Structures are given as C-alpha cells and as structure tokens.
C-alpha cells in the first residue's frame, strides 16, 4: 500500500509518498482500506513537530478518514470485513490502509459518500464537543463563530444551526469568506478584517442581537479576534478556546469574565476520543443522522488524489482553507 511518510520532524514539504507493508490487525484493531482521508491544519503541526503529540518516526500523518473494513483482530465485534466505516486516529490516515482501534471505527450510512464521511470527522467532532460539552449549548443560544470559513468554523456554524440555534453569527475575513460562511448556513456575517475590530465586532453583534450579545463564542482563531469577541458576549456567556489559527495566543482579560459572569473553556478534542470513546461514537452517530436529515452538508472545496498530497498540504498550511480539504484514495 502507498502512504505519506514523515521521516524527520521539519518542514511539511519534506514528507514523501512511499510503498509500505500491510500489517495485520492485532487484538481489538480493525484494518481499513481508506477511500478518503480528512486533511486538517493540525496535521501540519504534527508533521513539523509543533503538536502536543509527537509520533515516533517515521510515521504517516492524518487524523480521520473513511473506507471499507478489510480485516478485524481478535475480540472485535459488531464490525466486520466489507463494512463501510469512518475512522478517527491520532495519526496514520494519509494512507491507503490504516489500523484503527475498533472503538474509533464508526459505521457510516449506506448512502453517504466516503469523502463526506471523512469531512464529517475531526472538525465536526470538535465543533460538537465545543458546543455541547464545553459550552453547554441550549437551542435558544446565539452563537458567534470565529474563523467561520475554515474547517472548525464551518462545522460549528452548521452544527449550531442543526442543533437549533436561532441565530448563528459568522466571523470571517473578507467578502469571499463571508459569502462562504453564508453558504455554510450562517444567519449573519461580520467581517473580522474591519478596522477597529475591538469595538466593531461588539457593535455588530449587539446590533444583530438587539443588544443581547453572543451567548456562545467558538474561537479557533485567537489573537485580536478573541479579545474583540469577549467584548461581544452576553451575560453568562460561554467562550470555547479551540485553537490559534492567527498564530497569536490571547491573554484573556479577567475583568470581562467577572463583570458579565462569563465562562471560558478550552477544548482538546482528542482527549475525548481517548478518555470517552463511547461519547465520541454517540456524537459521530448524531452527526451522521443530522447529515441524513439534510441538516449538515460539509463543503469540500478541495478533493486531491493521494499522489498529489502536497497540493492538499499546501492548501491546509496556507491558512486560506474554505471548508474542507480531502484526500481521495482508491478512486472514491
């Protein structure tokens, strides 16, 4: 089988496509022939040794995908050869075949394309746990999503709407990203590229919400957008720190938290995958059901063949992603 390999930590462009041996599943494992792999910004961080988990070298990057079960190890029940599944792994999904713990292998709907199943992986899981676990989402909440044209942002916009939010406000930079966020399902869009973002975002959100503010902020961006969003929050609002796509880790001004009873929570989604796989499996089932009901529709802007994986990585690394980038394998 072919797989992308990182042989030394450093620039992601040093990664190579190589042929590797198939390995048989051990106890509790499932061998999956992947048809699509999810490409995410954190993959770049992993490849460059800048991520909290550093896989032993050499390794294949990639945290999610979808394909067909080829074989299962001892003790695996409920999944067998021929089943169509989505998978979540710490790394290893930029490959034609991947070994997955059975507990992070999820049956997908019969009519779901593999690339959609892959796209409904990491960013939708992150958005789901950000909203439901970290922000205690209620269907009356107004949700402000920063970086709304990116992967986590698009997923958060769509999930907040699908779960019943009456008002989802997207923060995105520039007209093209604003249009994309609307296409993804946002009710309103605020341009985060505006002058005086600090006052401007608060004023825009207050105007949209009749002075109420955002009950929930989902922030995969950080930097000055985070500081501005904090000022745009409602009383008893909940902010979730998802990432720092701007490259700037914000220092949060605690006086805002005190004055408006605001809670700020972080999320490290992969911890849920390791510590509470049953909750992650239940979330994946709900995400798939919302897709089947027509309430979620991941927008895949780049489908790239495995042989051309560097193009996919360049898009992901460039910070200009709209929606999802997916690697296609085995002719999905």
Find tokens 């945290």 and name the residue.
63
Residue closer to ligand NAP (CB basis): 151 or 237: 151
Identity of the residue, 223 or 237, whose beta carbon is nearer to ligand NAP in the bound complex: 223
Tell me which residue has its CB nearest to ligand NAP: 150
**What is the binding site for ligand NAP (CB under 6 A)?**
40-42, 122-123, 126, 147, 149-153, 172-173, 177, 192, 220-221, 223, 225, 242-246, 267-269, 319, 321
Question: Residue 76 or 119: which CB sits closer to ligand NAP?
Answer: 119
CB of 94 to ligand NAP, least distance (A): 16
Taking the CA atoms of 154, 280, 318 and 99 in sequence, report the sign of the dihedral they define.
Answer: negative
CB of 292 to ligand NAP, least distance (A): 24
**Residue 313, Cα to own-chain centre: how many angstroms?**
16
Whichever of 7 and 271 has its CB closer to ligand NAP, that residue is: 271
Q: Which residue, among 123, 125, 20, 116, has the nearest Cα to 67 in the 3D structure?
A: 116
CB nearer to ligand NAP: pick between 25 and 220? 220
Give the other-Cβ count within 10 Å of 286's Cβ.
17
The token pair at 61 is 């990057």
Looking up tokens 């909203």, which residue turns up? 131
* Least gap, CB of 322 to ligand NAP (angstroms): 7
Question: Rounded to the nearest 5°, which phi and psi values hold at 117?
Answer: -60, -40
CA distance linking residue 180 with residue 177, whole number of Å: 5
Give least dist CB 193 to ligand NAP, A: 7
CB of 171 to ligand NAP, least distance (A): 7
Q: Is the Cβ–Cβ distance between 31 and 58 less than 8 Å?
A: no
């Amino acid at each position: 089988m072919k797989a992308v390999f990182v042989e030394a930590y450093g620039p992601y462009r040093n990664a190579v496509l190589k042929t590797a041996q198939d390995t048989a599943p051990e106890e509790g494992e499932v061998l999956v022939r992947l048809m699509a792999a999810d490409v995410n910004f954190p993959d770049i961080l992993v490849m460059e040794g800048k991520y909290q988990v550093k896989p032993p070298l050499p390794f294949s990057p990639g945290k999610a995908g979808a394909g067909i079960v080829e074989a299962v190890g001892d003790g695996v029940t409920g999944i067998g050869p021929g089943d169509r599944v989505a998978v979540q792994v710490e790394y290893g999904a930029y490959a034609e075949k991947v070994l997955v713990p059975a507990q992070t292998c999820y049956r997908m709907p019969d009519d779901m394309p593999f690339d959609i199943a892959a796209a409904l992986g990491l960013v939708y899981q992150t958005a789901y746990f950000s909203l439901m676990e970290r922000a205690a989402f209620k269907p009356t909440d107004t949700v402000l999503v920063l970086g709304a044209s990116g992967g986590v942002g698009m997923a958060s916009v769509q999930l907040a709407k699908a779960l019943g939010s009456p008002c989802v406000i997207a923060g995105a930079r520039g007209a093209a990203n604003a249009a994309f966020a609307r296409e993804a399902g946002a009710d309103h869009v605020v341009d985060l590229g505006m002058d005086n973002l600090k006052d401007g975002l608060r004023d825009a959100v207050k105007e949209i919400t009749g002075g109420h503010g955002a009950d929930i902020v989902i922030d995969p961006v950080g930097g000055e957008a985070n500081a501005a969003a904090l000022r745009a929050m409602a009383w008893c609002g909940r902010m979730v720190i998802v990432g720092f796509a701007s490259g700037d880790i914000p220092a949060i001004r605690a006086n805002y938290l005190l004055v408006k009873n605001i809670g700020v929570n972080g999320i490290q989604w992969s911890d849920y995958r390791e510590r509470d796989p049953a909750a992650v499996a239940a979330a994946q089932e709900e995400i798939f059901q919302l897709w089947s009901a027509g309430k979620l529709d991941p927008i895949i802007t780049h489908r790239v063949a495995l042989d051309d994986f560097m193009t996919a990585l360049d898009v992901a690394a460039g910070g200009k992603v709209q929606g999802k980038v997916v690697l296609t394998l085995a002719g999905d």
